[in-house]
Amino acid sequence: FVNGVREYTTTTEYNFLVGRFSLFINAFPGGGVSDGGGGYLRDYRVVKGNSVYGTGTTLTVPTEPLTVITGTSLLLFQEPYISDAVGTESVSYVGGETKRFSPFSTLPYTKANHGGSVYFDGTGDWLTVANGSEQMVPEAGDFTVECWFYTANASTRMDIYSSYTASTGFGIILNFDAGGKVTTYNGNTLTNNSSSGQFRANVWNHLA
């Protein structure tokens, strides 16, 4: 069906292989790496064991987001990040990012349920907290820094927390680094450098 009108129907007998299933090549489904030309995708649903729209010649085009129905094995691109709403499949991807663009005139959103975030564009933006008589972190002992972060840039180091003073070489830095690494510094000394791929671009990552 294209825009509600059946364009073609076919049947086939085939045992689909268990293993990697490539959904998109160059953004849209295709037969080779030269296919596709980029674009937007929304509500990508795969239903197993059920011909959802039957044998009719037309269907009612959805005006609201698709839902998980009986037999749904995959439901992608409904959230402000790339995820599977069913949660049973391991989905990996290269590239792609969410945009405020949708076939629906309105999307369900409430401040109480979804909240928001602060955006820094990476060109001279930062946030500092004054160091008063009461330290934000203890001078000795344990402490925890925790946050969610989302970035389209996986190739440049960005500090999440820094109490570092360049002139004395004192303080701690927690950052995410090129190649998806998470690193910490104590003064000028690198104290931890995780392996590559620990965080991903274009999705929300939780760091503690």
- Give mean pLDDT, residues 181-194: 79
Looking at the predicted structure, is the pLDDT value of residue 30 above 50? no
Dihedral sign, CA of 194, 195, 201, 207? negative
| Confidence band, pLDDT 50/70/90 cuts, at residue 125 | confident
- Rounded CA-CA distance 28/39 in Å is 8
State the average pLDDT over residues 44-56.
87
Percent of the chain with pLDDT over 70: 68
Residue 126 pLDDT exceeds 80: no
pTM above 0.85, yes or no: no
Confidence band for 48, pLDDT divided at 50, 70 and 90: confident
Q: Is the pLDDT of residue 57 over 90?
A: yes
Average of per-residue pLDDT across 19-35: 53
Strands 181-186, 189-193: pairing kind: antiparallel
> Is the predicted pLDDT of residue 106 greater than 50, yes or no?
yes
* Residues across the chain: 208
Residue 191 has pLDDT above 70, yes or no: yes
Q: What is the pLDDT of residue 58?
A: 93
pLDDT tens profile 141-183:
888 888 888 887 777 777 777 777 766 766 777 777 777 778 8
Residue 140 pLDDT class (50, 70, 90 cuts): confident
In degrees, rounded to 5, the angle at the alpha carbon of residue 26 between the alpha carbons of residues 38 and 104 is 45
Cα–Cα distance measured from residue 81 to residue 100, given in angstroms and rounded to the nearest whole number: 11
Give the separation between CA 149 and CA 52, rounded to whole angstroms: 38
Phi-psi region of 27 (alpha: psi -120 to 50; beta: other; left: phi over 0): left
